Structure 1
Amino acid sequence: MSAYLTSLRAIVTREALRFIHQRERFIAALVRPLIWLLVFAAGFRAALGLSIIPPYQTYITYETYIVPGLCGMILLFNGMQSSLSLVYDREMGSMKLLLTSPLPRWWLLFCKLLGSTIISVLQAYAFLAIAAAFGITMPAIGYVTVLPALVVAGVMLGALGLLLSSFIKQLENFAGVMNFVIFPMFFLSSALYPLWKMAESSKLLYTICALNPFTHAVELIRFALYASFNGPAFLWTVLVTIMFTAAALWGYNPARTGISRRG
């Protein structure tokens, strides 16, 4: 057990130190959602009318509506950043050293996933604090109840990053991931507009958005910010997390990666 805990502490600490030393990564993680919140929201406010939908009890501003989606954006992009770091570690050889340790491969990958999730959650809370400073606040209890939702969503998107990193062989291929995974996943969701708006324009797009796991992660965060529990979103998010994790473990299988215990 001590070996497991030592590896957990070492890997999480390494992820934290890497994040601390890359200050531009923290700034970029906050600048992106803040631009949407303070710039794009001003233009979309008049174009996108909002009705009273759960968990809201009254009409809200567009800025208030997109805050959960922007928290999801932070988790999504940090999950992809974690994927990029894993690809870099593989090219540098440090990933091989990690996976050839005597500890189970699933535990080592879990430690990487946990470290990435912790950083994602901290970034999301930093964004919520900045949004509150601009007058976009949530119920006080919501800042506490949203923590489990952020963790669940962060684990799901981190597992997606693990899965992608098992197939991406070169850093140059990461641009394709941005175009064909991250952006469609973000824009085809309820992060920026409610699903009923999408249903008015296209039933096909509405169906895609409804099946998008990122949509359910955002809705889980949205309800949690108002101290409500969205059961279907939670179940779908957990199910997809299990699927992503299982596929990532298969992707890092020694038979595929060519990395054995003997190195």
Structure 2
Amino acid sequence: MSAALIALRGIIAREILRFVHQRSRFLGALVRPLIWLLVFAAGFRAALGVSIMPPYETYITYELYILPGLVGMIQLFNGMQSSLSMVYDREMGSMRVLLTSPLPRWWLLVCKLLAGTVVSILQVYAFLLIARAFGIETPGWGLLAVLPALIASGMMLGALGLLLSSAIKQLENFAGVMNFVVFPLFFCSSALYPLWKMRESSVILYQICAVNPFTHAVELIRFALYLEFNAAALGWTLLAAAVFLGFAVLGYDPARGLMKRKAAEA
């Protein structure tokens, strides 16, 4: 147990140090959602009104509506960044050294997942504080209540990143993943528009958004920010996290996934 905790502490510390030293990564994580919040939202404000809907008790501005979606965006892109770092570490050899330790492979992947989740939560709170400075505020206690939701959503999106890293062989393939995985997940969700508006435009698109795990992560964050509990969103988020992590562990299994492919290539 002590060895497992030491590994957990070491991997989390490594990820935090890497994040602190990569200032461009921190700025990039904030610039993207801030542009959506301060530029795009200003243009959509007049065109898109958000009616009263749970968890809101009154009409809200578009900026307030998309705030949880942008929080989810931060965690989604952080999960993909963790995926990219896994591919890089694998090519450089450090990941192979880590996976040859006497600790169970699944525990090492969980440690990596927890480390990425911690980094994403740091980015989210920095973004929320900046948003408050621009007058886009949520209930004060919501900043504390949203923490468990951020852990669940960060684990789910980080597990998706782990799964993708087990399939991506080269860094050059990462751009394709961004186009065919990240953007559909984000745009086919409730991050930017309510699901009822999706239903008005296309029933098929609405059904796609309804089964999108990113939608449930965003709704979990949205309700938590307003001190409400969304059991369905939590259940689907945790289920998706378990499925993604399970397939990621299989992908890194030397008998089935990554190591077998590498041996065949050699």
Which TM-score tier does this pair reach, normalised by the shorter chain? over 0.9
- Give, as a single letter, the amino acid of the residue that structure 2 aligns with 1:68: P
1:129 CA displacement = 0.2
Q: Show the counterpart of 1:132.
A: 132
Contact residue 75 and residue 157 of structure 1 kept, 8 A = yes
Matches within 5 A, 1:21-170: 21-170=21-170
1:66 CA displacement = 0.5
1:257 CA displacement = 4.4
Contact residue 55 and residue 223 of structure 1 kept, 8 A = yes
1:2 CA displacement = 1.5
1:229 CA displacement = 0.3
Contact residue 190 and residue 215 of structure 1 kept, 8 A = yes
Structure 1 position 8 matched with structure 2 position 15: no
Q: Show the counterpart of 1:205.
A: 205
Deviates more, 1:23-32 or 1:3-12: 3-12
User: What's the CA shift string for 1:101-134, capped at 9, x where partnerless?
Assistant: 0000011001100000000011001000000000
Q: Show the counterpart of 1:238.
A: 238
- Give, as a single letter, the amino acid of the residue that structure 1 aligns with 2:13: T
Question: How far apart in 2 are the matches of 1:42 and 1:48?
Answer: 10
Question: How far apart in 1 are the matches of 2:11 and 2:193?
Answer: 37
- Give, as a single letter, the amino acid of the residue that structure 1 aligns with 2:169: K
- Give, as a single letter, the amino acid of the residue that structure 1 aligns with 2:2: S
Question: Are residues 65 and 258 of structure 1, via their aligned partners in 2, closer, same or farther at CA, if it must alter by over 3 Å?
Answer: closer
1:50 CA displacement = 1.1
Contact residue 12 and residue 112 of structure 2 kept, 8 A = yes
Q: Show the counterpart of 1:176.
A: 176
The count of corresponding residues between Structure 1 and Structure 2 is 260
Describe the SS at the equivalent of 1:143. Answer: helix
Deviates more, 1:249-258 or 1:119-128: 249-258
- Give, as a single letter, the amino acid of the residue that structure 2 aligns with 1:194: P
Question: How far apart in 2 are the matches of 1:26 and 1:256?
Answer: 35
User: What's the CA shift string for 1:156-189, capped at 9, x where partnerless?
Assistant: 0000000000000000000000000000000000
Describe the SS at the equivalent of 2:163. Answer: helix
Contact residue 83 and residue 161 of structure 1 kept, 8 A = yes
| TM norm structure 1 | 0.97
1:63 CA displacement = 0.3
Question: How far apart in 2 are the matches of 1:2 and 1:245?
Answer: 23
Describe the SS at the equivalent of 2:51. Answer: coil
Question: How far apart in 2 are the matches of 1:141 and 1:121?
Answer: 16
Question: How far apart in 1 are the matches of 2:12 and 2:211?
Answer: 32
Contact residue 99 and residue 259 of structure 1 kept, 8 A = no
Contact residue 100 and residue 259 of structure 1 kept, 8 A = no
- Give, as a single letter, the amino acid of the residue that structure 2 aligns with 1:239: L
Describe the SS at the equivalent of 1:200. Answer: helix
Contact residue 250 and residue 257 of structure 2 kept, 8 A = no
Describe the SS at the equivalent of 1:32. Answer: helix
User: What's the CA shift string for 1:60-92, capped at 9, x where partnerless?
Assistant: 000000000000000000000000000000000
Question: How far apart in 2 are the matches of 1:241 and 1:56?
Answer: 27
Structure 1 position 214 matched with structure 2 position 214: yes
Contact residue 252 and residue 258 of structure 2 kept, 8 A = no
1:258 CA displacement = 6.1
Describe the SS at the equivalent of 1:181. Answer: helix
1:256 CA displacement = 3.1
Question: How far apart in 1 are the matches of 2:258 and 2:217?
Answer: 34
User: What's the CA shift string for 1:5-41, capped at 9, x where partnerless?
Assistant: 1111111111111111110000000000000000000
- Give, as a single letter, the amino acid of the residue that structure 2 aligns with 1:201: S
